[in-house]
């Protein structure tokens, strides 16, 4: 479990094919402080397991299913990624509860600069539109953000300069693809609602 508060950005040092998956070796500083083999770490919002450590880097293996469903399939040497270690029971929950289980890949439709903020429009999958709630939380490449506007499958998030400068979101442009994870609370409530016969007549 994560919070969507990125600890630092790391740099992809190498990408190697292994079977039907890929091994990513990523350089980092802050997250290396207490990182151990078998620890979970979010890489651009995708929960991965560390299987190897070096002095200033770690390696993870992304299986084929993960590559199919996330933007990790597009990572190449030199790319910058958002990193966050799994939270502990004593961690401040500054963002929202994030599993690192990507729901879908979204596409950036536009990025507009305002006086002090940037507005980013992202098109998400129709299958997960119902979990995107106006003024609710959503994780974009592992960054906890608030949905400022919503029109069907098009959501708008507001980014302050600090977020852009300290995450990989600064490299996004029109046409970029991003990992989307909707709010876990909404997904559970929806499942309970759908399975409870008392509410089925009101369902979609």
pLDDT tens track for 113-155: 988 899 999 999 999 999 999 999 999 999 999 999 999 999 9
Give the separation between CA 10 and CA 1, rounded to whole angstroms.
20
Q: In the chain, pLDDT over 90 holds for what percent of residues?
A: 83
Coil, strand or helix at 200: helix
Question: What are the backbone angles phi and psi of residue 64, rounded to the nearest 5°?
Answer: -60, -40
Model pLDDT for residues 56-89, shown as the tens digit of each residue:
999 999 999 999 999 999 999 999 999 999 998 8
Q: Has residue 60 been placed in a domain?
A: yes
Nearest to residue 122, comparing CAs of 154, 91, 148?
A: 154
Which two tokens mark 46? Answer: 């995708």
Answer yes or no: do 163 and 136 share one domain. yes
Contact by Cβ (8 Å): 194, 201: no
Q: Has residue 2 been placed in a domain?
A: no
Answer yes or no: do 119 and 81 share one domain. no
Q: Has residue 94 been placed in a domain?
A: no
Query: How many domains, the chain?
Result: 2
CB proximity list for 203: less than 8 A, separation 6 or greater: 193, 194
Q: Has residue 180 been placed in a domain?
A: yes
Give the separation between CA 44 and CA 168, rounded to whole angstroms.
8
Contact by Cβ (8 Å): 152, 74: no
Q: Has residue 200 been placed in a domain?
A: no
What sections of the chain are H helices per DSSP?
A: 64-69, 161-165, 184-195
- The residue segments making up the domain with residue 50 are 8-85
For residue 119, list its beta bridge partners.
Answer: 112, 158
pTM as predicted: 0.91
Answer yes or no: do 108 and 187 share one domain. yes
CB proximity list for 14: less than 8 A, separation 6 or greater: 23, 24, 25, 77
Q: Has residue 91 been placed in a domain?
A: no
What sections of 27-160 are H helices per DSSP?
A: 64-69
Q: What is the CATH number of the domain that holds 19?
A: 2.40.30.20
Per-residue CA distances from 103 to 51, 66, 77, 128, 174 (Å): 24, 11, 25, 7, 21
Coil, strand or helix at 178: strand
- Checking if the pLDDT of 199 tops 70, the result is no
């Amino acid at each position: 479990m994560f919070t969507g508060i990125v600890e630092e950005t790391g740099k992809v040092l190498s990408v190697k094919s292994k079977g039907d998956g890929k091994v990513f070796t990523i350089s980092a500083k802050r997250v290396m402080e207490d990182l151990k083999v078998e620890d979970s770490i979010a890489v651009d919002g995708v929960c991965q397991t560390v299987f190897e450590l070096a002095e200033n880097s770690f390696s993870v293996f992304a299986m084929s299913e993960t590559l199919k469903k996330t933007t990790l399939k597009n990572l190449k040497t030199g790319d910058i990624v958002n990193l966050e270690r799994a939270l502990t029971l004593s961690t401040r929950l500054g963002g929202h509860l994030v599993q690192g289980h990507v729901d879908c890949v979204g596409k950036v439709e536009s990025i507009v600069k305002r006086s002090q903020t940037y507005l980013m429009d992202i098109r998400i999958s129709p299958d997960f539109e119902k979990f995107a709630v106006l003024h609710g939380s959503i994780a974009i490449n592992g960054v906890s953000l608030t949905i400022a506007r919503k029109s069907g499958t098009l959501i708008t998030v507001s980014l302050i300069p600090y977020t852009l400068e300290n995450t990989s979101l600064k490299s996004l442009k029109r046409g970029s693809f991003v990992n989307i994870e909707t709010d876990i609370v909404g997904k559970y409530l929806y499942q309970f609602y759908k399975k409870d016969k008392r509410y089925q007549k009101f369902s979609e």
